[in-house]
Amino acid sequence: MDSMTHSDSKQPSWLRKNWKMVALILVGIGTLFCAFIAAIFMIVFGSMKHSGAYQLALSRASSTPAVVTQIGQPLKGGWFITGNIHTSGPNGHAELAIPLSGTRGKGTLYTIADKQLGEWKTCSLVFMPDSSGTKVVIVDSAATRCPSRSSED
């Protein structure tokens, strides 16, 4: 009888026997969760980078000497684009803040664009350098014929 009690007390718990498997499962779940978040991040920001409004803004900024002089070439758009893009069929509207970098500096490109009949048109395009430098108005909103929009749209 003493031998039964003695062997029962030395019996390790299930968790103590399988802690490596439990740790591996938890690491796997954590890795899958991180991969899921990264996939969402890539889809959202990737779709913004492939939008016509983004491409048009980056193209216009790259061909503007005042922007190139301040931050250098080549201009590269960053990943953390903020703003929104709304499209409905062939029409749409975009308001974006695009981080830009070049060989000499960084800044943010602000654009407002409208899409009519499938074609994007820049309504306003302004570059603001991060450090010393001057604001560059590439497309003045007063000079375009874009419909004015309220912030509630």
| Domain boundary assignment for the chain | 14-50, 52-143
Could you tell me the pTM of the whole model?
0.73
Q: Please state, in angstroms and as integers, the Cα–Cα distance from residue 73 to each residue in 80, 96, 126, following that order.
A: 20, 22, 18
Q: Which residue has the higher pLDDT, 12 or 110?
A: 110
- Tokens found for residue 152: 């509630």
pLDDT above 60 (res 25): yes
Domain 52-143, CATH among 3.10.450.320, 3.40.50.720, 3.20.20.70, 1.20.140.10 = 3.10.450.320
Q: How do strand 119-129 and strand 82-88 relate by DSSP bridges?
A: unpaired
Q: What is the pLDDT of residue 9?
A: 64
